[in-house]
Structure 1
């Protein structure tokens, strides 16, 4: 109706996922690249969680487009199926005609087919959309299918896309075997108020709009607040606002047009992101930085955002995030970026913890020993502190991962640590030695928390620009991948 009025080729704010309208900002592009990497070069089950309307299905569709041809993607849009229906659906996508066959025959035929694919250099991945709606028995069947392997190599990979309710399902005792096999975890966060403008104009340009910015700051602020940053709600409000402006025969979207859209939409307030009770294993490998930075470093690539970390939390403390301002660093690769002021409090570990008598010690593999680290350097000191923290952390302890490096590069890491010292956050930074693509590297963490719930709460309270720059993710210290 309003396409000609605004010079559009097609509606810009359709809620049906169309890959031409994929917005790569707000860490969505980074997650997509990390998913492609995890599927092509890794093993393990992957979980992507996000609120209703946050863009999970769009991300899933983009993943289908970006996977190499050697990987056969099995997309399950309707997860409400029985165990038998799941097997038939997978076999059907692989063009195996097994209708009416016994389950044992289906499983053997499926394994034989996957082994043949592996011998040809091909792989298969199951993408489950709306996985929170999948019955528990069917989720368990997925775990059993994931166990199919030849030698040391898994034959079938699995990616679960779901709402936070998926975490609640995985937290159930009878789901612990599936939960323990999830090694990559990604969270799609709502758009921040600062990103709303970029998103709105990206969609307009993608639909053919060639004029000046069309949404006033007041209208953008109202859309961001009313939508809570959820893409589907943003799209609905923006579409109805365009219609309201068209009726008035104006080309500027102002606050009154958004108010009219709100009255017409009847949107009910939603529970804010991060206020749900987080459950389940949420730590793990995100593999974001190694994929996204090209040269392998997030250090100096913060786009104006400081590396800010909460101090390690003791059992009876409530520690605020440090308020920091000033120059991030004089190091040339930072470009003199300014630090972000952070004032939101981080929840501490509850003071009244139940007493545990003679806890079972955590048997974590020793951290890798690295050569070529200058004696007496901050890098050496933080490595020693990390080893002690890693050895002493209680069962279930978590941290927040900032990024990966792709190699050690002691000079750069030393510069990063010097800047962290200047900001007053050095004591919160930990460096886990890992190996990536056969090279020694670092997993950079900040803060320690008694459980993943505490760490997840801290992430949810970080400023949006900080989240956008680093794409921080939860990391479970008990993760078996620590020794890599």
Structure 2
């Protein structure tokens, strides 16, 4: 659509978690460094918490890529993207990722024993198992307890299974329940992802454009970036949505620069919070004028008919 017009090789603000577009901003860089530190130190549990759209999933994918491509000799990753599983469902998902045979996965009574045997066999090869769970706030209580049982395996020197939980803030609410006090004590590190600042929003936009082949003057005007930041509240996912629609609006105008008016059109195309009108006041005026024009037209039609 607009890629050729702006000299882009692909869409820079896709919602898919493309690790090639991962922006090493301070907050995400600190989080990834902590993930690596926890793995290297052999700690059992780490949780990464953030509001919707703050970049948890792309961090999760970046970690998995690191484990599978760069550290395959030291770690065996187990990725659970859908945590809405029963205890048995979790064990079967883990078993499948560990390479258990079909008959072993169907043996519910001995499934945990088969998983334990596989983990011990990997330990003989000096490989630790890393279980990575996305959307962990959705884990049922019984499944959380089943997860804790898997992590009981350890030697005198280190844990044989490490768990990294990525979740929304509801994960804290869940873990703070008294019944999870044992599990809570095992979480030795936590990182809280924060929204981007105004400066980081500009850096985020520029980096992703550059990664997608853009090589020219600033494509988003400073005022457009400021309005985008205030409307998206620094949330990467919302920045992506609004920036993408803004590029479409600029392309429709055949404008080589994204201006505040294009941000406003993008915002008008969706719902981005209750205070959107306050952050883009001209939208309120535009809506009011449209309503007045509609009423006047309806009145004119009525009087003609009378």
> Is this a same-fold pair by TM over 0.5?
yes
Tell me if 1:51 matches 2:51. Answer: yes
Tell me if 1:101 matches 2:107. Answer: yes
Tell me if the contact between 1:88 and 1:99 (Cα under 8 Å) persists in the aligned partners.
yes
After TM superposition, give the deviation of residue 257 of structure 1 in Å. 0.4
Deviation string, structure 1 residues 14-49 (Cα, Å, up to 9, x no partner): 011000000111321221122012112221200000
**Residue in 2 that maps onto 1:76:** 80
How many residues end up aligned between the 2 structures?
269
TM score, norm. by length of structure 2? 0.85
Report 1 or 2 for greater relative contact order, CA contacts < 8 Å, sequence distance ≥ 6.
Answer: 2
Deviation string, structure 1 residues 25-84 (Cα, Å, up to 9, x no partner): 132122112201211222120000011000000000000111211201111100100000
TM score, norm. by length of structure 1? 0.54
Tell me if the contact between 1:115 and 1:150 (Cα under 8 Å) persists in the aligned partners.
no
Question: Which one has the bigger helix percentage?
Answer: 2
Choose from 170, 174, 178 the match for 1:169: 174
**Residue in 1 that maps onto 2:279:** none
5+ residue gaps, structure 2, are 276-306
Q: CA RMSD in A?
A: 1.2
Distance 1:81 1:165 in 2: 18
Distance 1:114 1:259 in 2: 54
Residues 205-220 of structure 1: matches in 2 within 5 Å? 205-220=210-225
Distance 2:209 2:270 in 1: 21
Describe the SS at the equivalent of 1:72. Answer: strand
Task: Say which is worse superposed, 144-153 or 175-184, in terms of deviation.
Answer: 144-153
Describe the SS at the equivalent of 2:26. Answer: coil
After TM superposition, give the deviation of residue 150 of structure 1 in Å. 3.4
After TM superposition, give the deviation of residue 149 of structure 1 in Å. 2.1
Distance 1:99 1:25 in 2: 41
Deviation string, structure 1 residues 137-160 (Cα, Å, up to 9, x no partner): 111111111112234532111000
Distance 1:40 1:72 in 2: 14
**Residue in 2 that maps onto 1:303:** none
Distance 1:38 1:269 in 2: 39
Task: Say which is worse superposed, 261-270 or 158-167, in terms of deviation.
Answer: 261-270
Tell me if 1:246 matches 2:251. Answer: yes
Runs of 4+ displaced beyond 6 Å: none
After TM superposition, give the deviation of residue 243 of structure 1 in Å. 0.4
Distance 1:264 1:254, change over 3 A: same
Residues 304-323 of structure 1: matches in 2 within 5 Å? none
5+ residue gaps, structure 1, are 271-484
Tell me if the contact between 2:42 and 2:158 (Cα under 8 Å) persists in the aligned partners.
no
Deviation string, structure 1 residues 79-136 (Cα, Å, up to 9, x no partner): 1000000000001001102232033x21222112111211211111100000001111
